[in-house]
Homo-oligomer: A and B are copies of this chain.
Amino acid sequence: MTGHETILPAWRPGPTRDAILGFLHDIDGVPPADRVACFDNDGTLWCERPTYVQLDFFVDALKAKVAADPSAAGTPEYTALLTGDHAAIAQLGLARIGLALVELFDGMTPEAFVAHAREFMRRAMHAGLDRPTRTTVYQPMLELLGELRRRDFAISVVTGGGTEFVRAISAELYDVPPEAVVGTLIKYALDRDGDGRPRLLRTTSILGDANEGPTKVTNIQTQLGRRPILAAGNSGGDREMLEWAGTANGPGLALLIDHDDPEREFQYLSSAETFTESEPITDVGRRLGWTIVSMANDWDTVFPPVGDEPVR
């Protein structure tokens, strides 16, 4: 009886849970200003398979646009997306596909974009898990966020996805405010309405670089100005962020989620296929002494019960 019932109940007893409890104990002497934790989103806080939620959102918006104006379907990028033609998508390349999707929201205000994203999240169902997409968050990670928050941690979501998309859901799903989301940023243009009042409009350009790999670390510094002592991720794009947190002075925890649970979620080897790592990210993590989280073995519960989630 180690308090399993009252703290982190969705985590099974074992070395992984012990490592987390050890960290929570060790931070007693860490000043509050240094209690900073950074969490990747896709595949770390919520499910990223079979497709990124943000891609589902963009394709949903594309379908709405084509329903209103069938001629919009005519570009190669949109045709490939609407027919789910993976070979054509691969041949066009992610950069062209991404730009075509971002163009769907060109000239939109941030408020309108957030409203669109929330409307989608209210009705989106996960393809395969038979639950609303907004409930595909990982219960053990929500419990960890809660324990960190009780210890006055500043918690950030550091995502390769679009900052504004994640901001639209981060308060509701994770209790993380907009300014604590670090992601890939769309540039805005300051425009004037007919009465001369300023308004912000989305463009199709990226501010800085896409938030993956080393850029996650430089963006943490430029946007947050503090170094995390805990980082959690699941892919090659999280490698530098986990190294950054894991080598801070004093207590540090680098958590790598291993998707090894085909029964309850998905089984896939992160990173090697999408990034330039020649080594599977789980091997990198073992070599560097990270705490590897086996979804199959370490998590008693994967998803929260459906029906309890907040609805806005």
Chain A: residues with CB nearer than 8 A to chain B? 33, 110, 154, 156, 163-164, 167, 171, 177-181, 185, 187-190, 197-198, 200, 207-208, 214, 217-218, 221-226, 240, 243-244, 247
Contact = CB atoms under 8 A, between A and B. Distances in A.
| Central interface residue in A33, A189, A198, A214, by most chain B CB within 10 Å | A198
State how many copies of this chain the complex holds: 2
A16 to B, nearest CB: 24
Contacts of A214: 190
A223 B179 contact: yes
Contacts of A177: 33, 154, 226
Contact of A179 (B217, B226, B243, B244): B226
A214 B191 CA distance: 9
A221 B167 contact: no
A244 B187 contact: no
B200 A221 contact: yes
A226 to B, nearest CB: 5
Nearest to A195: B247
A240 B200 contact: no
Contact of A163 (B33, B180, B218, B225): B225
A200 B226 contact: no
A224 to B, nearest CB: 4
| Central interface residue in A180, A222, A243, A247, by most chain B CB within 10 Å | A222
Contact of A198 (B180, B208, B243): B243
Given A244-B198, A247-B197, A221 B33 contact: no
Contacts of A226: 177-179
